[in-house]
Every structure is written in C-alpha cells, then in structure tokens.
Chain A
Amino acid sequence: MNLTRWLRAVGGVAASLLGLLVLTFLIGRVMPLDPVLAIVGPDADRSTYEQVYRQLGLDQPLVVQFGRYLLGLAHGDLGRALLTGNPVTGDLLRVLPATIELATLAMLIGALLGVPLGVAAATHHGRWPDHAARVLGLLGHSTPVFWFGMMGLLVFYAWLGWAGGIGRIGLAFEGTVPTVTGLLLVDAALAGDAQAWRSALRHLLLPAAVLGLHSMAYLSRMTRTFMLAQLSQEYVTTARVKGLSERQVVWGHAFRNIRVQLLTIVALAYGGLLEGAVLTETVFGWPGFGSYLTGSLLLGDMNAVMGSVLVIGVLFVSLNLLADALYRVFDPRAAA
C-alpha cells in the first residue's frame, strides 16, 4: 500500500472516531440523566449542587466542554470517571482484559462449533442434520442470552456443581492473585496458584459457553448460507466429476472459498462480543467492559461513556484492519 492510501485510511479512521465522539457527546447531553445528582445524591442542597455543576464544567458552553475533552484526549487523558473516581484510562485497562478473556473463549467455542455445524448443514442440505443445525441455530440466536445464563447457572452451578458461580473467581480467592496481564487465567498461572487457576477456569467456562452458544448459532447459519452458495457452483460439480473425495470437495475447494467471508463475520462477531456482552456479564457478575459501559450510561458519566465508545470504535476499526490484512493472506486477488 502506498503512502497516499495509508494516509487516506488513517484519515478515514480518525474522521470516523471523531464523528463517533461528537455523536456520543451530543447524545450524552440530551439524555435525561444528571451526573451532578449522581455525585451529590438526591438530597443535596442547592449550593452543593451548583458547586459540583461548576466543578464538572457543565456551566460552560457545549463547544468549550467538547473542546476541553478533545484537548485532554490529545494528551492521552480521557478524563476521570464519576463512577469510580479513577482516570477512565485506568478503568478501561482494568475492565477490558476481563471481557477479552470471556469473549475470546466464547468466540473460540462459537467458531469451533458453529463453522463445522454450518458446513455439515450445507452438505446435508434438506436432511436431518440440516434441520437439526437450523433448529439449534434458531434457538441459539432467538433465546435471550440471560435466560440461557440463568438456566446454565441453575443446572451446572446450583444442581450439578460443575461450574463456578458468579464473578471471575471464587470469592475467597479475590485479591489473592497479583494482577499482571488482567487475564485471570494467565495471572493465576504466572503466580503458580493452581487452586486459583482452577477456580478462575470454573468461573469462566459457563459464561463463555453461554456467550459462545449465541455466536455459534450466528456463525453456523452464516457458514451454511456461504457453503450452500459455493456447493451450487460449477467448479464444485467439476471437482466431483474429476473424482475428488467429498471431503476434498467440501473442505479443499468450497470451504477455502468462504474463508474470506467467514473472517469478516467472525471479526464482526468478536467485536460484538467485546462490546455487547452486557447481559452475560450482568447475569454472571462479570466485571467487564459491558458492565462498565452500562453502569456509566445509567449514571450519565460521560467521560467514561466517551472513553468506552472510543475503545469500541478503535476495536472495530482494528478488527476490520486485521480482517483486511488476512484477506490478503487468504485471497491473492486482494493482495494484487
């Protein structure tokens, strides 16, 4: 890619992120939520209210408020969160690893189950494996994730005792694993604490499976659609006429041609999991990014909301760029 294309890409990304921030800022100002009241409480008197109103800079014109925010952003300062009293950057660095750990395992579960299921459905089009996959896909996609979560907790945690309960680790282990990466499984392994690691794994598997089931449904449906389109192509008929095995036809030819499309939807689904696992995080008491963003929104904590939205924007842009880069690996025409 030449310099002009790079500059155009970077400019496009910067414009998108700025647009995102402007929109979020404006929405934040019209929301019927009062951040001052969140700080001072419903029974504060007038002088206290007005003092905090000024301290937050809310007495300034919107342009000035936004300008100050951008100025801080230019210096790497996302402001201080009302919710936690901490710098937003620090908060995001704390909550993101929790979500990354959950979403990554969920995505692995979703992709490793969903893609083969979609392929099986396509290759058995109109027969029982196809119907079963479609029913499973429909259930996974249309059943509310919080219902799955509650049922999962009831069966695997309360009744069978196989899964850990709420949170990222057993309560008695809280505060015992030194934070290095923020990924609890990694940190517990680094600390050499086998009991804590096992507790973290027990707590991770169920929410990841619930979230992964949702992704699996989506990925299997999309994979099936992509594969059906490929399997009806003439090159597939040719391959079969040439005497290739069904396995070679399906995986060696048809599947190779849907990898680029799959990459796109996997990247988008992963992005969606990173910012949209709110319900799963709520049901499982998972202190991740979705919970942080929701809590901030409900308080009208605009510094935290803007920082979170910015992160979501950067995540989606990064995943798109990654998918673009992988296109070139899988599709030589894109590299040309």
Chain B
Amino acid sequence: MLPGLALGAWDTPTDQLLVGLSMNNLLSLDPAAATGLDAMAVACNLYDSLLELDAHEPTRLLPGLAQSWAVSQGGRRLGFQLHPGARFASGRPVLAEHAAWSLQRVLRMNLAPASVWKSYGFTAANIGTQVQATGPHTLQIDLPQPTDPTLVLMTLATSMSALVIDRDAVLAQAQRGDQGAAWLTTHAAGSGAFALQTWRPKELLILTQQADHWRGAARLRRVVMRHMTESQTLRLMLARGDLDVAGGLSAPDIRALAQRPELAVETVRRGNVYYVAVNARHPRFADERVRRAVLRHLIDFDGLAGSVLPFYGQLHQRPVPPGLPASLPSPGYHLDVAQARRLLAEAGLPDGFDTTIRVMAEAPFTGIATSLQATLAQAGIRARIQPGTGNQVYGAMRDRQFEIVVGRGGGGAESHPHSALRALVYNPDNRDSARLSNFQGWRTGHADATLNGLIDQALVEPDAARQLALYQQAQQRVDDAVGGMQPIAVVTDTQVMRRVVKGYVGHPSGATRLRDVYKVAQS
C-alpha cells in the first residue's frame, strides 16, 4: 500500500448524505409491489402521499399532497383537497386522478400492498367506483364496508401503497399491460423531494435533490446509500468519517460507537414486535397448559431485556405497542420454572418433551432462541434450534409446519390498535383450508371467537371512549386465553450518525423523510 494514497482522505461533503445500510429487503420501489420499512424509507423521499404521520407524535395526521381532508357519511366517505401547486418530477401537476389511479393500480395488481385495502373491503372490481377524482384537485374515497375511518387515513399516511404516482410517466413505460410494473421496480415517477438517480439493487441507491420541489428544495443535493451488511465495516467507516449514517449495526458495535463524541445514537420505536409463537395445531401445544407454561413462564423476559434486546427492542408483552391510547402496560410475565413444571405435569408431561425452535439466523433472533432453549431445558423441554433465512422460517410458519418460532411481526405502520391486533392475534377462520397465512393468529392455529368479536366490534365503534375500552378488553382477553403468540418486545431501530447531520428524525412507520435534513461542516 502506498502511503501517499492516504492523502486523499477527506470529510464527507456537506451537501451529500452518505448512508450505509443493508438493502437485503429492498427488492422493488414500486408502491404497488414493495413491502417493508426499508422500501418505505426510500420511497417516501421519491413520492408524496396524501397525508403524513407526525414522526414525534405518531397518532397525529399531517397534510401531505392533501392540504385538507374530511370524513362524512357516518364515517363511510373520505374527501381530500389536493395542493394545487404540487408537481411531479416530470413537471406535470399532481391531480386527484393520479391519486385515484395509484390506488386503483394497487388493487388491480393485487400484490402484497393490496392486502390492507382488501381488508377494508376494496376489490379490483369496486376500486374504480369507490375511489374517484371528483375534480382536478378533489379526491373522494367511499369505504365499501364499515370500518374506522381513522385507520384508513393512517394507512393513507403510512403505506407504500398510498404513494401517488405520475400515471402518464408510468403508462409510457408499460409493457404488455403490466401497468408499468417492470419499469417501476427500479425507477420512480413521483413528486417527492428527491428523484432517483441510480438504483442498483443490493449495491447502491442515489437520490438527487428536486430543485423545484413544490414544498421547496431539499437541503441536501444528494443522498447516497450503499448496501453494507457487515456491522464491523460500518463501524470502521463511521469511525473514519466516511459515512454519515449507518443502520443495521450489531449491539456491541453500537455500544462502542456510542462512546465517540462525534457520533450520536438514534433509536426509533416501530409498530411491530418480537415474539415467541407456538403452533397450537401441533399435538404438543394443543393443550392450553403447555402453551401457558412455555409462553408465560419459560421465557426469561427480564434477562432478554437486559442482555439481548438493547438497541433491538424494548420489553413489552402485549400485541398493541406502547404509545397508543389503547395500549396497556405489560402484565408482568416473568421466568417461573416451578410454575411451568407444575403446568406441564398437569398436562401429563412431567418429563418435558422434544421440540424445535425455528429462528432467523441473525441478531437478536438467535440470542432470543438461545435463551429460550436454556429456559425450556430448565423445565425438561429439550429444544433443538433450527436456524434459517426469513424465507425459510416464515415460509414454514405460513404453512403451519413448525412447533416454535422466534420471529418478528405485527401491525404495519398504522398507529392504530386494530392494525396490531389484526396482524398478531385475529383469526376469523382456523381451518387449514382457509389459508389465512397473512394472519399470525391463523399461522399459530389458535382462534378465539370472543377475541375476534371484540376486535371486530372495536373497529366499527364510533365512540372513541367505548372503542378504547373494547381494545383494552381485547388485550385482556389475549392474556386470559393463552393463544399461540407471546410478544416479547416492541421493535426498535437504531441508527448511528455523525453529529454534523442535523434534522434527521427517524419515523416509526419507516417514512423517514430527508427533505429537512442537512449537514454542517465539522468543527
């Protein structure tokens, strides 16, 4: 190595934000196809949505492309007045017909982002009449079935599927009637504060400032994101000052970096949870006493909170995450081997049994699984850990071919109790043939008519106080009737960034907008 080459080292430019993170889950940028928070983190800077959710107060709706909105017809009609000055990157004005077409496209393509809209009663057949532009800048959404309009508004504020696309730009690239799907996978046609300059999946993504953005130009000229999966290398680059922001660092690396005065650690709480799930359809876990022993008394919650979960999650034992009005404090489950042994003995299993824990081979899942294996052993349960990819673990869970899973899931981005309860514990049809594999409740093979009824009732309850009480009753019901799912912690996402980066506010729903982020020169 030539020493002279070291002379080229410099601080990162102040008009560029340099980000290192894993792009493993970023496979598409098409709002009608992409899933996950990683896609949203990029897409929300390329596209605008009708509404936004306040990053500091995630139950508060803010104007986006819609400068005002109203709920009418007993909560069945939503009306939006779009900002007349909004323009796409192509220069075309953002019209209500674009917003309507964007939502219609989601249902017609029927990919994963359509699920939430289907749960509100929208179909490919009715979306054309239920979502309509009633004027150049007025959009009307009629809800096909009774639901909480606030939940729908939150979906409009947080879901990839609600981003508004430049219809004409996309249709110009359509092939064989694909509605531009192939093109939109790696391109963008939005009105966001940034345009997509380069995207090479699992390699590099570059956003460039839209100088004439309708809200005013972003303060950064470029945002460069590089796919980096090794925590150690992220740490080295941050320490050298070659990166501004790093995500996906391991806990030991975050701890080490937190000691450096030029770096700041930012943690944001997400809406989903880490959980231990058992398959109630499996003979071993069909007995409620066995489930209670494993899920309530053989998880070392406090030990995990102190050792495995820092920077990954915050201890929380209920499906509705903290921070929502209906959220209840954790019921206080703790490791109690003696009680677990008593329950197992009552269930006719005084000597325990053999079982398998499926887990994703990455932190913190493996740490949780290892702890669980040890505590199960204390009660005589011999568990074998079977690590795999997310595809393998959740694939088996979707097929109900598992005994125990340590996983992550829950309500999407909406700050609404229904979102979490529906995703984690709701199961309207427990038959194998129902194949409701998008519900964790169905995957765990446990259905509780009382619980389902409370969740259904709360969703359509117009009175806020009564709705709140129903959601709290639903959570208490989850405590009483031990299902197949035990939340351990609410997921947190930790990023380390240089203190020269200002205005960066991580968003709980993944919609971290970079339009107000800027950098100052290193002092």
A: residues with CB less than 8 A from B are 32-34, 37-49, 51-52, 80, 82-86, 94, 150, 153-154, 156-158, 160-163, 165-167, 170-172, 174-175, 195, 198-199, 201-202, 205-206, 209, 282-285, 287, 291-292, 295, 298-300
B226 & A45 in contact (Cβ 8 Å cutoff) = no
Report the nearest B residue to A163, measured CB to CB: B1
Chain B residues contacting A156 (CB-CB under 8 Å) are 1
CB-CB nearest 4 A-B residue pairs: A85-B185, A41-B35, A42-B394, A287-B203
Contact residues in A for B114 (Cβ distance below 8 Å): 48
Query: How far, in whole Å, are A106 and B251 apart by their CA atoms in the complex?
Result: 34
Tell me whether chain B's interface is mostly helix, strand or loop, or mixed: mixed
Interface status of B111 (Cβ within 8 A of chain A): yes
| Given A39-B111, A84-B27, A85-B182, 17 additional A-B pairs, CB 8 A | A32-B392, A43-B112, A43-B115, A44-B437, A45-B438, A48-B112, A82-B27, A84-B202, A171-B226, A171-B243, A175-B206, A198-B5, A198-B8, A205-B1, A205-B5, A284-B233, A287-B202
User: In whole angstroms, how far apart are the Cα atoms of A33 and B388 in the complex?
Assistant: 10
Q: Are B438 and A165 in contact (CB under 8 A)?
A: no
B107-144 near A? 1/0 per residue, CB < 8 Å: 00011101100100000000000000000000000000
Interface residues of B in 183-203 (CB under 8 A from A): 185-186, 197-198, 200-203
Contact B12 A171 (CB under 8 A): yes
14 chain-A/chain-B pairs, Cβ below 8 angstroms: A39-B27, A41-B35, A85-B186, A86-B201, A154-B236, A166-B228, A171-B20, A172-B12, A174-B224, A175-B206, A195-B8, A285-B226, A285-B228, A295-B202
Does residue B389 face the partner (Cβ distance < 8 Å to A)?
A: yes
B437-454 contacts to A (CB < 8 Å): 437-438
Interface string of B26-49 (1 = CB under 8 A from A): 011000010110000000000000
Residues of A within 8 A of B16 (CB): 171-172
Q: Tell me, yes or no, whether B395 is within 8 Å of chain A by CB.
A: yes
A299 contact from B115, B391, B394, Cβ within 8 A: B391
Residues of B contacting A49 in the complex (Cβ-Cβ under 8 angstroms):
437
Given contacts A40-B112, A162-B6, A175-B198, contact A33 B233 (CB under 8 A): no
Answer whether residue B229 sits at the interface, using C-beta atoms and an 8 A cutoff.
Answer: yes
Please tell me if the beta carbons of A171 and B242 are within 8 angstroms of each other in the complex: yes
Q: Considering residues A48, A51, A298, which has the most beta carbons from chain B within 10 angstroms of its beta carbon?
A: A48
How far, in angstroms, from A41 to B243 measured CA to CA in the complex?
Answer: 30
Q: Which residues of A contact B398 (CB under 8 A)?
A: 37, 42
Q: Do B237 and A165 have beta carbons less than 8 Å apart?
A: yes
Nearest chain B CB to A151's CB is how many angstroms away?
A: 11
* Chain B: CB-nearest residue to A41: B35
B200: which A residues are within 8 A, CB to CB? 84, 94, 287
A37 touches B1 (CB 8 A): no
B435 to chain A, nearest CB (A): 4
Residues of chain A within 8 A (CB-CB) of B395 are 32-34, 37, 42
Of A205, A287, A291, which contacts B204 at CB under 8 A? A287
The yes or no answer to B348 lying at the interface (CB within 8 A) is: no
Contacts of A161 in B (CB 8 A): 6, 9, 240
Q: Which positions in B face A, CB cutoff 8 Å?
A: 1-3, 5-6, 8-9, 12-13, 16, 18, 20, 24, 27-28, 33, 35-36, 110-112, 114-115, 118, 182, 185-186, 197-198, 200-204, 206, 222, 224, 226-230, 232-233, 236-237, 239-240, 242-243, 388-392, 394-395, 397-398, 409, 423, 435-438
The answer to whether B394 touches A37 (Cβ under 8 A) is yes
Measured between C-beta atoms, what is the minimum distance from A201 to chain B in Å? 7
CB contact under 8 A between A34 and B391, given known A47-B110, A158-B239, A160-B6? yes
How close is A194's CB to chain B, nearest CB, in angstroms?
Answer: 10
Q: A40-B111, A85-B28, A171-B18 are in contact. Are A33 and B391 (CB under 8 A)?
A: yes
On whether the beta carbons of A166 and B20 are closer than 8 Å, the reply is yes
Measured between beta carbons, the chain B residues less than 8 angstroms from A41 are 35-36, 112
CB nearest neighbor in B for A301: B27
Which residue, of A44, A80, A199, has the highest number of chain B Cβ atoms within 10 A? Answer: A44
Please, how many angstroms separate the alpha-carbon atoms of A287 and B394 in the complex?
28
Alpha-carbon distance between A283 and B235 when the two chains are bound, in angstroms: 12
Contact B202 A83 (CB under 8 A): yes
From A44, A46, A165, A172, contact of B224 by CB (8 A):
A172
In the assembled complex, the Cα of A162 lies from the Cα of B203 at a distance in Å of 24
Q: How far is the CB of A177 from the nearest CB of chain B, in Å?
A: 11
Please name all residues of chain B whose beta carbon is closer than 8 Å to the beta carbon of A282 when the two chains form the complex. Answer: 229-230
Measured CB to CB, the nearest residue on chain A to B199 is A84
- Bound together, the chains give a CA A333 to CA B110 distance in angstroms of 67
Q: In the bound complex, do residue A175 and residue B437 qualify as a contact, i.e. CB atoms below 8 Å apart?
A: no
Given A171-B243, A199-B8, A282-B229, A43 contacting B2 (CB threshold 8 A): no
Closest chain-B Cβ to A134's Cβ sits at a distance in Å of 25
- What CA separation (Å) do A174 and B197 show in the bound complex? 11
What's the least CB distance linking B159 to chain A, in Å? 13
Contacting pair B201 A43 (CB below 8 A): no
Cβ B236 vs Cβ A158 within 8 A: yes
Q: Are B230 and A51 in contact (CB under 8 A)?
A: no
In the complex, what residue of chain A is closest to B243 when comparing beta carbons?
A171
CA separation between A161 and B6, bound complex, in Å? Answer: 5
- What's the minimum C-beta distance from B456 to chain A, rounded to whole angstroms? 18
Are B18 and A44 interface neighbours, CB within 8 A?
no
Q: Given A161-B9, A162-B5, A165-B233, does the pair A45, B437 have CB atoms closer than 8 Å?
A: yes
Contact call A285/B115, Cβ cutoff below 8 A = no
Chain A residues whose CB sits within 8 angstroms of the CB of B391 once the complex forms: 33-34, 37-38, 298-300
Q: How far is the CA of A299 from the CA of B26 in the complex (A)?
A: 12
Is there contact, CB below 8 Å, between B389 and A285? no
Closest A residue, CB atoms, query B2: A162
Identify the closest chain B residue to A287 (Cβ). Answer: B203
Residue of B nearest to A295 (CB): B202
User: Whole-angstrom distance between the alpha carbons of A32 and B399 in the complex?
Assistant: 13
Separation of A248 and B139 alpha carbons in the complex (Å): 88
Distance from A238 Cβ to chain B, minimum over Cβ atoms (Å): 45
Q: Is the CB of B237 within 8 A of A166?
A: yes
Q: Which residues of A contact B409 (CB under 8 A)?
A: 42-43
Q: With a CB–CB cut-off of 8 A, which chain B residues contact A40?
A: 35, 111-112
Note all chain B residues with C-beta closer than 8 A to A52.
Answer: 111
- Residues of chain A lying within 8 A (CB to CB) of residue B242: 165, 170-171
CB neighbours of A199 from chain B (8 A): 8
Q: In whole angstroms, what is the CA distance A45 to B422 when docked?
A: 13
Q: Which residue of B lies closest to A80 (CB)?
A: B182
CA distance A299 to B6 in the complex (A): 39
In the complex, what's the smallest C-beta–C-beta distance from B197 to chain A, in angstroms? 6
Looking at the assembled complex, report how far the CB atom of A290 sits from the nearest CB atom of chain B, in whole angstroms.
12
| Contact call A45/B115, Cβ cutoff below 8 A | yes
A128 to chain B, nearest CB (A): 27
B residues in contact with A153, CB < 8 Å: 232-233, 236
Contact call B437/A46, Cβ cutoff below 8 A: yes
Contacts of B27 in A (CB 8 A): 38-39, 82-85
B contact residues around A47 at 8 Å (CB): 110
Could you tell me the distance between the alpha carbons of A284 and B412 in the complex, rounded to whole angstroms? 34
Measured between alpha carbons, how far is A161 from B24 in the docked complex, in Å?
A: 29
Query: Cβ of A209 and Cβ of B202 under 8 Å apart?
Result: no
Chain B residues, Cβ within 8 Å of A287: 200, 202-204, 227
